[in-house]
Amino acid sequence: MTDATVKSSAAAQRAALLARYRVEAGRYDELLAGNGRVRPHYETLISELESLGSEELKRRSDTGRRLVHEQGITYNVYGDPLGMERPWQLDPVPFMLGAGEWRKLEAGLVQRATLINRILADCYGPQELIRTAWLPPALVFAQPDFLRPLHAGRPADGNFLHFYAADLARSPDGQWWVISDRTQIPTGTGYTLADRLVTTRILPEAFRECGVQRLAGFFREAQATLGRLAPRKTDHPRVVLLTPGPFNETYFEQAYLARYLGYSLCEGQDLTVRDDRVFLKTLSGLEPVDVILRRVDDDFCDPLELRNESMLGVPGLVEAVRAGNVVAANALGSGLLQSPAFMAFLPGLCGQILGEELKLPSVATWWCGQKRAESYVTEHFDKLLVKPAFRSRLRGAEPSGPMSAAEKAAFLRRLRFQPHLWVGQERVEFSSAPAWTCEGLAPRPVALRVYVVATPDGYRVMPGGLARVAPESGGRLISMQRGGAAKDTWILADGPVEDVTLLSVAGQEVELRRVGNNLPSRLADNYFWLGRYAERTDSTSRLLRSTLLRFSPESTGHALPLLEPLLDTLVAQGQLPAAAEQPELRTNAEALEAALLAAIFDPAQSGSLRSLAGQLQRLGMLVRDRSSNDLWRVLRQLDDRLAMPTSSLVMLAGDAIGVLNQTLLQLASFHGLARENMTRAQGWRFLDMGARLERAIYLCTLLDAALRSPEADNPSVLEAVLEVADSAITYRSRYNLVPNMAAVYDLVLLDDTNPRSLLFQLNQLAKHFEKLPRERESALPSAGQRVLIECVTRLRLLDPRPINRLSSRWHDSDVGRAITNTLNDLPRLSDALAVNYFAHSAISRAR
Amino acid sequence: MTYRIIHRTTYEYSGPVTVSHHSARVNPRFTDVQSRRRFTLNITPEPAVRKNRTDYFGNRVCFFAIQEIHTRLEVEAISLVTLKASTPPALALSPPWNEVAELFRDPVSPEVVDPYQFCFDSPLVRTAPDLAYYARASFPAGTALLLGVANLNQRIFRDFKYDPVATSVATPLEEVWVKRRGVCQDFAHLAIACLRSLSLPARYVSGYLRTHAPPGKPRLVGADASHAWFSVYCPSVGWVDFDPTNDVLAGEEHITVAYGRDFSDVSPVSGIITGGGQHEVRVSVDVEPLSEGEARKQEWADEE
């Protein structure tokens, strides 16, 4: 190829890439200048994208979607009938900003954070601004977010605002405006990081060529800031991330950040206040907490002193904060400044407090608590966006969409009755930025959220941010709740890019640690159930596979009795309805086939494999901050594999067996990862205990059903038992003959060299119990250990041989009784664990 | 007049409580007419943490935490309080209500910032146009503020039936308004909501009321209850207390404990427990008038 052809093909590519890029009149476009030329800071990116070509871009965009899915980057949408969790929408084309423009924005953001911090300190302190009329009193006193119990408390380092975020929009003249301030819980840093990781994986060449500033430095500053807040003098301050729980819309990023920053993710019930100090409940007792990075709203944090219907918080937290024994970031009460009404007063306050002009303007705002503003807003009602001035709990009804004359009159009456509850704002014209669509690049309205962290040298801005684009071109609303997409934000560097990592600096002395017993009790609980559900899914798959393999719709009637033990086990485990409920299942092969397929794929049936996989994924979510990405990915794929549209339930048994085989392979990799990759700490121990216990219960259930069958000594029933217990190969290698009852039961019950035998599970459980932190407190065995000693002794004394002499009523034999008794004892073991280790009792209010 | 008040709150739990945190606002305030001569707070079991402080509104609060397993908690507050006889304000001489309301509309002068805090919606009291309409009947144009409030006080007394079973601590004001029934707390909230709906500052007062035995019968010990009323701000006079449950101005028989925007700011004893199961709470209050001689004997110096 000659230079000329390269050029002309590049031109053709460019034509293809930007062919449909039509900037809407009256909008500022981030990519194209008024003359239709690509702006300089987008040039490198665009030529990189061009050299990839549309086909390749499409492929990479699909890869991006897959990465988002695999990593489980999700966003919970409230009230979504399709299930709460939604995949995060990521647009692969980054949002670009040049170094010079960024420096100006940075200066404006630092000034704004400094100002807001000072205003907060005054409102929660001397209230000079109110007494000198720089701030209208109603702006503070009428706000539900002004938390009086926090008044007159001074935060440890003097800062109320450790983290701050601002939403920015650019108007047609190219000016940036702040459209909202996030002063309480600036969400989105985790998503920003996740977006960066995905975007750089799909566009590595462009990322390298553009010279993009890195994000890691910001997170390191954040870690250092939180560490410095610790009131205890210690090298290892304990920072926890307090989450409202998995139903919160940004739970994903909370778990993600906790893991990235190395903090424990905990809910209110995991913490307790003793002697005015906050502690984390762990397996080995209470561990002091120094700093709480909170994702729980201000007024939900302490049901004793703040909003007392809240059960998300920690009773006594406010008093612990007051006593200076724990620090919350941001400080409790910082939500006050989130009110858009403050925007109307920032220019004046900036002059008064900092003696400077406000560098970054806010969108024009009129707070109706002032007479003149009220008249302006009522006169220009149709042009303005009128919305609540304060976060309101009961009266959410803000005007949305066009109103009839009567509706408008009614609304204005409400406004005039309590004008201070409303603000009017100019409607924002967003700029547009290139987004990837099925037709190439297209301009979409864009908003940018940027983040700031407090450091000893003042505020620092994250060089990047969370850009969001609207789903259509004319959009005025940009919201992830309503179908928008996120973009990574690339801030170009002036010079060489500095590489930063979160790992400790080399050469620093490190105290070697090997622990630990400090696993939060709730996580131990989650690991235990993760183990149980993984094993339940495994056993259920085996049982369903064995059933389907033995089942042929042609062989009706006489073949079914041999299936009975397997079907009874499926009934006992909740995969099939009881024979009494649907007797036709035992006579009609087609009905049975349908029921078996439903037991695999039907998400609405609580014991089905599909819903077990769903449970597994939910539990995986709860331990995400502590487990590897691979473990999560396996659970994710398992769920995907079983996610069949209900219409395809009409499927051949042969296909279903294929799916079951795949499922078993996925589970094998789950167990493999758990065995090979988890340190032998308490998390792994509880996972394994859960799996062992579940396997023991499953095995006993199966054997109990088999012994109750009139065909219990039938070789094909024994064969099925061996197969479900995954011991067929071992049996054949040892006995090389038609299954013999005593030999089969010996192998699956008593052989402690067989990792599938009952005794093996019990022995492993006993070993785990010995290592648990609270088992050695007493000279006598604990409740759980007693159960195990009883079960193990019973099995050790059992002689299976007499069973061969019976011709019926096998379950009345010694073997049968041992199985029944073990089956009754095992739940007691689970209870003993729960009482000792998982106790996180609920709090309630005493009136 | 001097009173000795014994205010006892007892919680019985059906299961063991492992840890509990409480706050108590049971220590009577000093006011222009009221002085506290003794206050003792007995808590059983003995709290591991116990601290006193003054809250945002100047009320004394005791925070305590019990960290031993328990199934019963008793909080006993003993106060000795003297109230000065005082002449009630001349209601008719107070300024016209609409002038007062005007003072509390933007821009508000810094001198009245303190009462201004009591003009806004609070967690349990929300203003509403219907309430403004109801209240307006007591305030024809130019009516002296306190005369209007006295009239509103009386109308609430007449229009609403005292009914201890109709409502609970958690009953919202909207329901009281519809049912036309309630107890002292509801009537105080209602009056406050009415006044705030007219842009007048009003606050909630928690305290005790001396009760009189029926003629010829002895005073029943412990049969009293804690009481609540409201207070309105009148320029040049200050805060004036009205009791809508009894249609009176609060006087020498009303002992003030605490005030705030509504009940949620001054709840006498509240707590969050871990464990405990079902619980039952009993409150007994005894307000005993004392002669000065007896009062001297009981007066100690053990503040809190």
Residues 6+ apart with CB under 8 A from B26: B7, B41, B62, B75, B77, B79, B257, B268, B269
- Residues 6+ away with beta carbon under 8 Å from A409: none
Same domain, A697 and A809: yes
Chain A / chain B CB contacts < 8 angstroms = 115
Q: Are A546 and A572 members of one domain?
A: yes
Determine, for residues A371 and B106 on separate chains, whether the beta-carbon distance falls below 8 Å.
yes
Query: Do residues A280 and A131 share a domain?
Result: yes
Collapse the DSSP code of A369 into the 3-class scheme (helix H, G, I; strand E, B; otherwise coil) and give the result.
Answer: coil
Confidence at A1, pLDDT banded by 50, 70, 90: very low
Spatial CA neighbour of A698 closest among A524, A526, A533: A533
What Cα–Cα distance (Å) separates residue B229 from each residue in B123, B167, B236? Answer: 17, 17, 22
Q: Are A423 and A340 in contact (CB under 8 A)?
A: yes
What integer pLDDT is reported at residue A335 of this predicted model?
95
Omega prior to A516 cis, within 30 of 0: yes
Q: Do A173 and A184 share a domain, yes or no?
A: yes
Q: Residue A13: its pLDDT value, please? A: 56
Test B56 with A138 for CB contact under 8 angstroms. Answer: no
Supply the mean pLDDT for chain B.
92
Q: How far apart are CA A582 and CA A563, in angstroms?
A: 16
Which of A316, A370, A417 shows the shortest C-beta gap to B106? A370
Residue B30 has pLDDT above 50, yes or no: yes
Of residues A299 and A113, more confidently modeled:
A113
pLDDT classification of A80: cutoffs 50, 70, 90: very low
Confidence of residue A617 (pLDDT cuts 50, 70, 90): confident
- The H or E element that residue A591 is part of is helix A589-601
A822-846 average pLDDT score: 80
Residues A314 and A380 in one domain: no
- Is B270 close to A371, i.e. CB distance below 8 A? no
Domain shared by A296 and A225, yes or no: yes
Alpha carbons A365 and A380: distance in angstroms, whole number: 12
pLDDT exceeds cutoff 60 at A259: yes
Interfacial A residues in 485-504 facing B (CB < 8 Å): none
**Is the domain of A607 the same as that of A639?**
yes
**A364-380 confidence digits (pLDDT tens):** 999 999 999 999 999 99
**Mean pLDDT, residues A438-459:** 93
A250 has pLDDT over 90: no
Of A643, A678, A713, the residue at which a domain comes to its end is A678
Q: What is the CATH number of domain B91-250?
A: 3.10.620.30
Asked if B21 contacts B63 with a C-beta cutoff of 8 angstroms, the reply is yes
Q: Is A136 in contact with B107 (Cβ distance < 8 A)?
A: yes
Distance CA B56, CA B261 (A): 11
- For residues A423-438, average pLDDT: 92
Q: Which residues contact B57 (CB under 8 A, 6 or more apart)?
A: A148, B258, B259, B260, B265, B266
CB contact under 8 A, A137 and B117: yes
Could you tell me where the beta strands, DSSP code E, fall in A101-170?
Answer: 163-170
Is A514 among the domain residues?
Answer: no
Q: How far apart are CA A442 and CA A473, in angstroms?
A: 8
Structural contact between residues B8 and B75, judged by C-beta atoms closer than 8 angstroms: yes
* Residue-wise pLDDT tens digits, A329-357: 999 999 999 999 999 999 999 999 999 99
Closest CA to B138 of B210, B191, B71: B191
Segment of A68-77, A80-89, B246-255 carrying the highest mean pLDDT: B246-255
Q: Could you tell me the CA-to-CA distances from A329 to A218, A231, A325, A326, B162 in Å, in that order?
A: 16, 13, 14, 10, 47
What does the angle CA A763 – CA A764 – CA A770 come to, to the nearest 5 degrees?
Answer: 90
User: Is A80 domain-assigned?
Assistant: no
Dist CA A9 CA A11 (whole Å): 5
**DSSP label at residue A842:** P
Among the residue ranges A186-190, A435-439, A536-540, B58-62, the one predicted with the least confidence is: A435-439
Token pair belonging to A840: 């996180």
Chain B hits for A273, CB-CB cut-off 8 Å, are 19, 21, 65
CA distance, residue B226 to nearest chain A CA (Å): 14
Q: Average pLDDT of A158-179?
A: 95
Residues 6 or more apart whose Cβ sits within 8 Å of residue A658: none
Count of beta carbons in the 10 Å neighbourhood of residue A376: 15
Q: Is the pLDDT of residue B228 over 70?
A: yes
In this predicted structure, what is the pLDDT of residue A475?
60
Mean pLDDT of chain A: 87
pLDDT range class, residue A628, cuts 50, 70, 90: confident
Whether the predicted pLDDT of A598 surpasses 80: yes
For A338-352, give the secondary structure using H, E and C. HCHHHHHHHHHHHHH
Q: How far is A370 from chain B (nearest CA, A)?
A: 6
Q: Looking at the predicted structure, is the pLDDT value of residue A302 above 80?
A: yes
Residue A79 has pLDDT above 50, yes or no: no
pLDDT exceeding 90 applies to what percent of chain A? 53
Cα gap A291→A264, rounded to integer Å? 11
The residues spanned by each domain of chain B are 2-84+267-298, 91-250
Q: What share of chain B is helix, strand, coil (3-state, %, to 5)?
A: 25, 40, 35
- Residue ranges of E strands in chain B: 2-27, 34-44, 49-54, 60-66, 70-83, 161-162, 181-182, 202-209, 226-234, 238-243, 248-249, 254-260, 269-275, 279-290
Mean pLDDT value across residues A420-447: 92
Residue of A nearest to B169 (CA): A847
Domain match, A375 and A466 both: no
What is the number of residues in chain A? 847
CA distance to A391, A702, A820, per residue, from A814 (Å): 69, 17, 10
3-state secondary structure of A416: helix
3-state secondary structure of A277: strand
* CATH architecture for the domain at B2-84+267-298: Sandwich (2.60)
A776 in the same domain as A821: yes
Is B51 touching A (CB cutoff 8 A)? yes
pTM for this entry: 0.85
- Given a cut of 90, whether residue A69 has pLDDT beyond it is no
In contact, A152 and A126? CB cutoff 8 Å: no
Rg, Å, chain B Cα set: 20
Task: Quote the minimal CA–CA distance from B120 to chain A in Å.
Answer: 5
Q: Is the pLDDT confidence value at A805 over 60?
A: yes
Degrees to nearest 5, angle at CA A662 with A656 and A666: 140
B106 in contact with chain A, both atoms CB, cutoff 8 A: yes
Strand A291-294 with A327-329, pairing: parallel
pLDDT over 60 (residue A397): no
- Residue A265's beta-bridge partner residues? A241
A178-195 mean pLDDT: 94
Please check whether residues A626 and A590 belong to one and the same domain.
yes
Task: Report which residue type is found at A675.
Answer: R
A704-758 pLDDT tens trace:
999 998 888 888 889 999 999 989 888 988 887 788 899 999 999 999 999 999 9
From the CA of A345, how many Å to the nearest CA of chain B? Answer: 14
Using a 10 angstrom Cβ sphere, with 0-12 exposed, 13-18 middle and 19 or more buried, the burial of residue A638 is buried
Nearest CA distance, B214 vs chain A (angstrom): 31
Contact B51 A371 (CB under 8 A): no
Tell me if B2-84+267-298 shares its fold with B91-250: no
pLDDT on residue A282? 85
**Confidence grade of residue A82 (pLDDT, cut at 50, 70, 90):** very low
Query: Over the stretch B181-226, which tens digit does the pLDDT of each residue have?
Result: 999 999 999 999 999 999 999 999 999 999 887 777 777 666 688 8
Instruction: Return the pLDDT at B234.
Output: 96
- Nearest C-alpha in B relative to A370: B106
**Residue B7 pLDDT greater than 80, yes or no:** yes
State the pLDDT confidence band at A830, using cuts at 50, 70 and 90: confident
Tell me the H-state helices in A187-306.
189-202, 204-210, 216-228, 251-261
Cα A330–chain centre separation: 21
Q: Find out whether A302 and A326 touch, Cβ atoms under 8 Å.
A: no
SS3 per-residue string spanning B244-294: CCCCEECCCCEEEEEEECCHHHHCCEEEEEEECCCEEEEEEEEEEEECHHH
Contacts of B50 in chain A (CB under 8 A): none
Nearest of A623, A478, A452, A653 to residue A548 by alpha carbon: A653
A177 found inside a domain? yes
Whole-number pLDDT of residue B94? 95
CA distance A567 to A572: 9
Dump pLDDT digits (tens) for A44-67: 999 999 999 888 999 999 999 988
Residue A355 belongs to a domain? no
Number of folded domains that form chain A: 4
Please identify which residue in the block is written with the tokens 């309101």: A392
Distance CA B78, CA B26 (A): 9
Average pLDDT, integer, range A474-501: 78
Task: Please name every residue paired with B234 in a beta bridge, in sequence order, or none if there are none.
Answer: B238
Does residue A640 have a pLDDT over 60?
Answer: yes
What pLDDT, on a 0 to 100 scale, did the predictor assign at position A754?
93
pLDDT band per the 50, 70, 90 thresholds, residue A84: low
Q: Which of A496-510, A592-606, A608-622 has the lowest mean pLDDT?
A: A496-510
Three-state SS for B67?
Answer: coil
Point out the domain boundary residue: A651, A678, A705: A678
What's the pLDDT band for A309 if we cut at 50, 70, 90? confident
Residue A536: domain span: 522-678
Instruction: Quote the tokens at residue A656.
Output: 């279903």
Condensed to tens digits (0 to 9), the pLDDT of residues A657-708 reads 888 998 999 999 998 888 877 777 888 899 999 999 999 999 999 999 999 9
Nearest to B152 by CA among B203, B189, B191, B186: B191
Instruction: For chain A, say whether B283 makes contact (Cβ under 8 Å).
Output: no
**Nearest chain B CA: its distance from A703 CA (Å):** 40
Nearest by CB to residue A843, choosing from B108, B110, B272, is B272
Residues B78, B287: Cα–Cα separation, whole Å: 10
**For residue range A752-802, what is the model confidence (pLDDT) as tens digits?**
999 999 999 999 999 999 888 877 667 788 888 999 999 999 999 999 999
Question: Where a domain ends, among A398, A426, A454?
Answer: A426
Query: Which residue type sits at A381?
Result: F
Task: Output the DSSP codes for A163-206.
Answer: EEEEEEEE-TTS-EEEEEEE-S--TTHHHHHHHHHHHHHH-HHH
Nearest chain B residue (CA) to A269: B274
- Residue A310 shares a structural domain with residue A330: yes
Determine the angle formed by the axes of helices B129-136 and A405-417, rounding to 10 degrees.
Answer: 60
Phi/psi at A413 (5° precision): -65, -45
Q: Does B221 touch chain A (CB under 8 A)?
A: no
Asked whether residue A211 falls in the same domain as residue A253, the answer is yes
Mutation to test the A interface, candidates B133, B168, B272, B278, most A Cβ within 10 Å:
B272
